Structure 1
Amino acid sequence: MKWSEPLNCWICGKHADTGEHKIKKSLLTYIYGKGPYKGDNSLSHFRKDENGRDFLKELQGPNAKQIKFPKNICSQCNNVKTQPFDFAYDAFYKYLIENKSIIDDGFIDFEKVFGSNWRFEQENLYKYFLKLLGCDLDAHHLPVPDDIVNCINGIGDYRLEVEFSINLDKYLFDPYFKGLIGTGDLSYLSKDIYSNDKNSYKWSIFFSYINIDLWFDWPRYSKNNFSFRIGNKSVDLFCFSPLDNEQRIEVYKKIYGGCS
């Protein structure tokens, strides 16, 4: 999609002079180094073009414009107000990538991720997801719900549902798939559908073998125990395998040149 540059920060309303990374810079450098990504270290960035077709472009470095949102947030909000959210996400993804024991455990223990200050940092992590979703909505010229802005400012309700899951096929072929980082397609329902008075949104983030699903006011017919709730010391993990056995064998052949 081709984005135009909004004029104002969607958090505070001031002039927007920075663009948040859609794919986090620190995560890219954590896995791939500081760049530049050339030769044997070259990276490919897959995305949709403005007509919705798959588009491939080389990624030169972790600060490339193609992996940033348009300028829709001011430097004060991006570099000061929400910086603790970024730091919490940094600690979170590093822990998950480095501690594969979470798969056998079947849950994430936030005290192990953040230490004794886990309650405070857990909320910062939650607000990072709000920040990223808000940037994506604004970039698509969709209204950012007041509750997202209010929650970032410490006065809103926790209406965003967050779920963490493990892609077992990516885990099986690690480290081949370790470097896959990105976001899913944004889905939304207009406020007229289901007689809802507000828009509903669904989005996702992924890195390594971890999937993070975000649901804001999305109509869901059944609840489960995998939702991330502020104040809960742990959250259950859902494990899934998108490949069937034949597909898994084909992937194995392509990677290792043989059959198991």
Structure 2
Amino acid sequence: MKCWICGEEATTGEHLLKAASLRALFTTVSQTRPIFYNSERKRNKRLQSIDSKYLKSKSLCARCNSSRTQAADRAFDILMSYLEGLPSKVLAQSSVRMNRLFPYCTRAQSVQLHLYFVKLFGCLVREGEVPIDLGDFSAAICSGKPHPDIYVAIGAMDRAIAGGSGTAGLSDMHCDFYKDGKPAFVAWFMHMGDVCIQVMLAAAGEHRDGLINSWHPSRNKRLLLREFPKE
């Protein structure tokens, strides 16, 4: 398999759920303290390490998975460290200015945070063999500029839907395509404990409910935290 960012051989596994966030949530994962993985193909798969292959997508080369996207990974870790310290009520109805989250180089750090979601989006597209051209995703990461059509919404999700505060996961990717095969709107969720994140691709001119109060680094200097629907 080729790295979808640069075209070199894909030799490394990218965590689909960030390793640092998994460690913060589960503390220790071992033979005596396993976690359980569920998907359409696997039910209650016992995992004894956060480095399990079931938690990774092998779709990037070593450079793209390290030096090229390291700043994006760090920006996401900063975001999660902040969100994990918030009570669920605050997650549901609050906001945070980007210059509070990133006191130094706010604009550059905000773009890197955005590019983390671009990277994860691309890995999920490749992993799921979703018919979406990743050229614009690759161009955004290689240029260090935001993808114009990727938006993010962050907040709290009903625990009954998410599976409880001691769980983490990714949803399926829900896609609407135009007749020519190009994506009109694509959305998926990730949750880590009480934190829920919705990532969306919306073509120009699309107006979807999920985009209301969503964040894009070129349009917003504040993250508006929301409570996601119970259904």
TM-score when normalising by structure 2: 0.85
**Structure 1 range deviating more: 209-218 or 74-83:** 209-218
Structure-1 residue corresponding to 2:142: 153
Unaligned runs of 5+ in 2: none
Shift of 1:199: 6.2
> Matched residues in 1 for 2:30 and 2:11: separation?
25
Structure showing the higher helix proportion among its residues: 1
Which residue pairs with 2:37 in the alignment?
Answer: 45
Between 122-131 and 152-161, the greater mean CA deviation after superposition: 152-161
Q: Residues 36 and 148 (structure 1 numbering): CA distance in 2 closer, same or farther, change over 3 Å?
A: same
Return the structure number with greater strand share: 2
Alignment pair present for 1:19 and 2:13: yes
Q: Equivalents in 2 of 1:109, 1:60: separation in Å?
A: 38
**Equivalent residue for 1:163?**
153
Distance 1:190 1:79, change over 3 A: same
Instruction: Report which of the two structures shows the higher radius of gyration computed on alpha carbons.
Output: 1
Within the candidate set 126, 141, 154, 1:138 is matched to 126
Pick 1 or 2: higher relative contact order, CA cutoff 8 A, min separation 6.
Answer: 2
Number of residue equivalences: 223
Distance in structure 1 (CA, Å) of the matches to 2:154 and 2:146: 23
> Partner of 2:173 in structure 1?
186
In structure 2, the residue matched to 1:31 is 25
Contact 2:91 2:226 in 1 (8 A): no
Structure 1: gaps (5+ residues): 1-6, 244-260
Q: Deviations over 1:50-97 (max 9, x none)?
A: xxxx6221121110111111x211000001100111111111111101
In 1, Cα distance between equivalents of 2:35 and 2:210 = 38
Distance 1:156 1:118, change over 3 A: closer
CA RMSD of aligned residues (A): 2.6
Does the Cα contact within 8 Å between 1:163 and 1:227 map onto a contact in 2? Answer: yes
Quickly say closer, same or farther: Cα 1:118–1:96, change in 2 above 3 A: same
